[in-house]
Amino acid sequence: MSRIRESLSKGNGFIPFVTAGDPDLETSLSICLKLAELGADVIELGIPFSDPMADGPTIQRSSQRALENGVTLSDVLKLAAEFRKRSDVPLVLFSYFNPILRYGIDEFARNASDSGIDGLLLTDVIEDEAARISAELSKHEIDLISLVAPTTTDERLSTICGNARGFIYAVSRAGVTGAQNETSSSAKELVERVRKFTDLPVAVGFGISTADQVAETWKYADAAVVGSAIVNVIERSTKGQEVADVESFVRHLLPSVANDGLGI
């Protein structure tokens, strides 16, 4: 069993997302360590990309800020390595295919493994590409995380789940990332469909931004992914306050943290 799957197997999982290098690499590392301390079961680390077409404006801006800081994929792997020296919380890189392709898939797999990366989530690869990439990553014990959406047919769900490792990322609604006031009812239906094809943990993301939404997601899914809401906190923070502001937000988001500070 992979470390990711083991971490999410107990349910009520929390998967926060941050863009590496926003507002800077040192602060990103501090935020990730704080999220681990607060009980994150898996941390998603976004690789900055110039054309993040699946992301809403909040994460697009964070990616642009990181790129303006000169952050590269090599920098992200160095950040991950520093994190791994101080925490065993699983790390998943969230990326588009282009940065990985330019780096070189074989070299990426080796270096990511050396940096302590547990998984890779690619937003824009089709099944044939995914199978090839997954085979290479698996040689280095890295899970290729699969995305499914309400529009995914049962036939494709069967194929995707059959090749999946780590966990299944269920997109709660069609469209791009971004915090929403309400979660989509289609998310629960999608999770129920996914469970027909796999016993992997299922995490729901895209739009989760409140404690009520997290609690509702935990009723039918194994984990809630919170991305844009955290990135928005970072964006709105004054210089030097980012870690404290993220901690305050997470403590309001997760009742167990607010009550005892020990995580989920």
Longest dimension (CA), the chain: 49
Q: Cα(51)–Cα(189) distance, rounded to whole angstroms?
A: 31
Is 104 exposed, middle or buried, given 0-12, 13-18 or 19+ CB atoms closer than 10 A? exposed
CA dist 46 and 92 (Å) reads: 9
Task: Look at residues 48, 31, 46, 39 and name the one whose alpha carbon lies nearest to residue 15.
Answer: 39
Q: Exactly one of 22, 41, 55, 143 is catalytic; which is it?
A: 55
| Catalytic residue selected from 22, 41, 44, 75 | 44
- Is position 44 annotated as part of the catalytic site? yes
The SS3 assignment for 50 reads: coil
- Indicate the residue type of 6: E
Q: What is the SS3 assignment for 59? A: helix
55 part of the active site:
yes
Buried (b) or exposed (e) across 244-253, using 16+ Cβ within 10 A? ebbbebbbeb
* Residues known to be catalytic: 44, 55
